[in-house]
Amino acid sequence: MSTLLKVHGSQNSFFILDQTLLEQPLTDAELVKLTTTLTSPKTGILGGADGILVVNHSAKPDTLGKMRVINADGSEASMCGNGLRTVARYLAQKHGQDQFKVETLQADLLVAKKADFASGVPTFGVEISPVHFDKKYLPFDNLGADKIVGKTLAVFDPDEKINFSILAVPNPHLIGFVPDIKRAKSQLATLGQQLNSPNPYFSDGVNINFAQVLGKNKLFVQTYERGVGFTNACGTGMSATSLAFYLTQPENCDFEQDITVYNPGGMVKTHLKRQAEQFSIELIGNATFTHEIKVTEDDLHANNVDENNCQITETGEQDAYLKFIEQLN
Ligand SMILES: N[C@@H](CCC[C@H](N)C(=O)O)C(=O)O
């Protein structure tokens, strides 16, 4: 029997598939099929998820494994901040180590166990890096500049009230600061659909984050994710938004202090770092395992995973998580 884990970071939910434990790793075509089936609220188990996190062997020195991120629509992303925290916990437990690197598509990233956010809420910190602003890294086009930090963009917001920034961390993010996040949700949905369908601005699509400033070093962020749609939270999105916050509103953001970022699924902390002119961000938050799913390897290869042919065991961790977010209010 093989084991899948259902996990979440700020209720951005995933299945972890450790391919190193399989006799034969899934091919990319098999992975895409399995992801689209498992993540769908209709065909997936346990209500679906936002993606699959694949754990592979890494040949790099100092790393305990390699993470690949497959979005719900089968596309592959270069990074996933909430997902990396859960993979960090998985590898930490598997290898009995508290601090190490994980290979991702574009960088080997430092991860570390942190003090639990609350009793029964395991917490990990992960490096979000490299950070780029230049349009060639996103990529983006037809926006009148090579770099957009704190600008209005009439093509996305005809009233020119939203202050936009564009960052790759290294997956692409468009960030807009809005006065009222609830009122802006339909505008976020429209923009999310437009920029993740064929469009003249973001040829590879983009994750879109709308943020409301709640106070000094305090934000609320809602994300429309590329390859998924609205999610409860996006770790790279909250990290990129934290940096855009500092760069565009330094009077509201102390670089030395953590930033508290609330989201529809909970809360994370971010910490900005700078070495010469290169920024990076540490993202700290829960790494919750909600279910263990036993399934045969043949069924994984055949994309034959449903609630009738696997054994599902609840871990009990979600109760502690819900208790934690209840007291956030
Ligand atoms: N939810 C993730 C980001 C996942 C990838 C994203 N949808 C993309 O295509 O870039 C996070 O927590 O960072």
Average pLDDT over residues 73-83: 98
Rounded to the nearest 10 degrees, the angle between the axes of helix 235-248 and helix 81-95 is 120
Q: Is residue 161 part of a domain?
A: yes
How many residues does this entry show for the chain?
Answer: 329
CA-closest residue to ligand 1 atom 1? 234
Pocket test for ligand 1, best of 87, 222, 224, 236 (most atoms within 8 A of CB): 236
Do 246 and 165 have their domain in common?
A: yes
Instruction: Judge whether residue 329 has pLDDT over 90.
Output: no
Within a domain: residue 263?
yes
Split at pLDDT 50, 70, 90, the class of 238 is very high
Enclosing domain of residue 29: 2-124+287-326
Residues of each annotated binding site for substrate? 12, 71, 81-82, 171, 207, 225-226, 235-236
Q: Give the pLDDT mean for 254-277.
A: 97
Specify the ligand 1 atom closest to the Cα of 83: 12
| C-alpha closest to that of 181 among 223, 210, 156, 217 | 210
Query: Domain check: are 296 and 161 in the same one?
Result: no
Mean pLDDT for all residues in the chain: 97
Q: Is the distance from the beta carbon of residue 111 to the nearest atom of ligand 1 less than 6 Å?
A: no
- Span 251-265, pLDDT tens digits: 999 999 999 999 999
Q: For ligand 1, is residue 235 a contact (CB within 6 Å)?
A: yes
Do 177 and 242 lie in a common domain?
Answer: yes
pLDDT of residue 248: 98
The answer to the question of residue 243 being in a domain is yes
Where residue 228 falls among pLDDT bands split at 50, 70, 90?
very high
Out of 10, 105, 109, 207, give the residue to mutate to test ligand 1, the one with the largest number of ligand atoms within 8 Å of its CB.
Answer: 207
Q: Which residues pair with 122 in a beta bridge?
A: none
**Is 129 domain-assigned?**
no
Q: CA distances (Å), 59 to each of 30, 65, 94, 95, in order? A: 23, 8, 17, 16
- Determine the atom of ligand 1 nearest the C-alpha atom of 173: 10
Q: State the CATH number of the domain containing residue 320.
A: 3.10.310.10
Q: Which amino acid type is present at position 269? A: K
74 and 41 in one domain?
yes
pLDDT at site 180: 96
Q: What pLDDT shows up at residue 299?
A: 97
Instruction: Check whether residue 107 and residue 51 sit in a common domain.
Output: yes
17 part of a folded domain: yes
In-domain check, residue 225:
yes
Q: Is 10 left (phi over 0), alpha (psi -120 to 50) or beta?
A: left
Is the Cβ atom of 283 under 6 angstroms away from ligand 1? no
Interval between CA 20 and ligand 1 midpoint (Å): 23
Q: What's the gap in Å between 172 CA and the centre of ligand 1?
A: 9
Report whether residue 232 contacts ligand 1, using a CB cutoff of 6 Å: no
Q: What is d(CA 234, CA 167) in angstroms, rounded to the nearest whole number? A: 14
pLDDT in tens, 107-147: 999 999 999 999 999 999 999 999 999 999 999 999 999 99
Q: 140 and 59, same structural domain? A: no
Domain count, the chain: 2
Q: Inform me whether the pLDDT recorded for 62 exceeds 90.
A: no
Strands 172-177 and 218-225, by their bridges, are unpaired
Q: Are residues 57 and 171 in the same domain?
A: no
Helix, strand, coil shares of the chain as percentages rounded to 5?
A: 25, 40, 35
Are residues 272 and 155 located together in one domain of the fold?
yes
This prediction has a pTM of: 0.97
**110 and 156 in a common domain:** no
- Give the distance (Å) from ligand 1 centre to CA of residue 94: 24
Residue 156 lies in a domain: yes
pLDDT of residue 106: 97
Query: What is the number of the ligand 1 atom nearest to the C-alpha of 171?
Result: 10
Are residue 168 and residue 218 in the same domain, yes or no? yes
For the Cβ of 77 lying below 6 angstroms from any atom of ligand 1, the answer is yes
Examine the domain organization and report whether 117 and 143 are in the same domain: no
The residues carrying an active-site annotation are 80, 234
Closest among 266, 299, 303, 307 to 284, alpha carbons compared = 266
φ, ψ for residue 21, nearest 5 deg: -95, 0
Q: Kindly state whether residues 152 and 279 are assigned to the same domain.
A: yes
Q: In the prediction, which pLDDT does 277 show?
A: 87
**Does the CB atom of residue 253 touch ligand 1 within 6 A?**
no
Asked if residue 82 has its Cβ within 6 Å of ligand 1, the reply is: yes
CA 252 to centroid of ligand 1, rounded, Å = 26
184 in a structural domain: yes
Is the ipTM here above 0.85?
A: yes
What pLDDT, on a 0 to 100 scale, did the predictor assign at position 289? 98
Q: Which residues are annotated as a binding site?
A: 12, 71, 81-82, 171, 207, 225-226, 235-236
